Amino acid sequence: MSISVFELFKIGVGPSSSHTVGPMVAARQFVRDVEAEQKLQQTDRVEVHLYGSLALTGIGHGTDMAVLMGLLGEAPDTIDVDTIDDKLAQIERDRALALNGDHRISFERDRDLLFHSDEFLPQHANGMTCKAWHGDELLFERSYFSIGGGFVLSEEDFAHKDQIATLLPYDFSSGRQLMELCEKHDWTIAELAMANEKAFRDESEIRDELWHIWEVMDASIKRGCEQTGLLPGGLNVRRRAAELYRELSKQSEEEHQHGLSILDWVSLFALAVNEENAARGRIVTSPTNGAAGVIPAVIAYYVQFVHDPEEHGDLKEQVVKFMLTAGAIGMLFKKNASISAAEVGCQGEIGVACSMASAGLAAVQGGNNQQIENAAEIGMEHNLGLTCDPIGGLVQVPCIERNTMGAVKAINAARLSLRGDGAHIVPLDSVIETMRQTGVDMQSKYKETSQGGLAVNAVNC
């Protein structure tokens, strides 16, 4: 399965890539599939059945909202997030919605949006089945799977997912192959990733779009530093980024450059992004929404505290290098393990984001390919076994703070790797396989179901 870096870095909406972005994409695709079958005009009702993790934590993750927006024809990267509440209220009030924005049908939540919390579809923990009806006649039915990071496969695509590919000139399916290809062509990891991306689009377009993705990340940091109040969902979690930003902004220049103070800023960047995510704001899936603060925080750390134009060159080129390198590492996890917490726990989200960020930071600080691979390996090795146990099914506790820890770990991993010569005992491929095996062995209650861990042992108030 060939993957583009733009599939790992997608502009979207919070709070979850697998439970919000994915279901919105799937519901939108369902309407398009019905239309392709020339049955849209006959449809007078639709049903959406949510299974497994989508059902267990769907309300807290905004899955219901996402499905309805997708049926309306909205897409995660273009939806006006400020209009969502009004659209939901209108659906509730009218007991109707317009498929793709123009074909009006009857719709009642309790009847047409069904949560099957005790049933899992066999293909994946995040499954949903959509049905189009004309009276009592079933016109069309299809299942879709949100496999992490906003990736969606239909049941037909899922059965042939390994065959869905764009032929890449320098394709790789393991860290070893990646390193061998780089050595053969005397390329950095970023240069090889760029060569592959050019199979999809023009090089200048790649650079511009990656810079734009950073601009969206940066905007989410800035907006998160301005917003106050309680996050939605009922846990009464108070937004902290704005207050922390005010405190840090009062520091003297000497305090500002102090090592531990810099870590406070890194934590702030991650907090700001993930509070925006929890508030259903605009963020970049990187590679998931639950872990969306790690990579932006580490890039912001580099931009504000490390980058020297004389030493490192043009900032845009460095950010592009960071994201291409991180993307190549993320592809390895996507291909050989998972980036879905519903499959492997939070090691597949925060762990993968930490590994990607570690590699990207090592690259822009002059690390060679061996040091970059070492940084990626360290970043994941020390997140192995991390569970996903969100309280109340919300992407808030422990998710928001967990992003700060992932960002700090990523910086430390990069620094450790750059202090060495790249030699290390555990290859990246081994740690990825270990992560996969750990995810298989992990009990389902620790995989984004809110049935174990902090979700049941912390007071829910």
| pLDDT tens series, the chain, 461 aa | 578 999 999 999 999 989 999 999 999 999 999 999 999 999 999 999 999 999 998 888 999 999 999 999 999 999 998 899 999 999 999 999 999 999 999 999 999 999 999 999 999 999 999 999 999 999 999 999 998 888 899 988 887 665 555 578 999 999 999 999 999 999 999 999 999 999 989 999 999 999 999 999 999 999 999 999 999 999 999 999 999 999 999 988 777 767 789 999 999 999 999 999 999 999 999 999 999 999 999 999 999 999 999 888 899 999 999 999 999 999 999 999 999 999 999 999 999 999 999 999 999 999 999 999 999 999 999 999 999 999 999 999 999 999 999 999 999 999 999 999 999 999 999 999 999 999 999 999 999 999 999 999 986 54
Nearest to 276 by CA among 439, 81, 107: 81
Cα–Cα distance, 134 to 120 (Å, whole number): 27
Instruction: Specify whether the backbone of 150 is left (phi greater than 0), alpha (psi in -120 to 50) or beta.
Output: left
Please list, in sequence order, all residues whose beta carbon lies within 8 angstroms of the beta carbon of residue 262, skipping any fewer than 6 positions away: 301, 305
Number of C-beta neighbours around residue 440 at 10 A: 11
Identity at 55, one-letter amino acid code: A
Name the β-bridge partners of 39: none
The pTM (predicted TM-score) of the whole model is 0.90
Cα–Cα distance, 222 to 261 (Å, whole number): 19
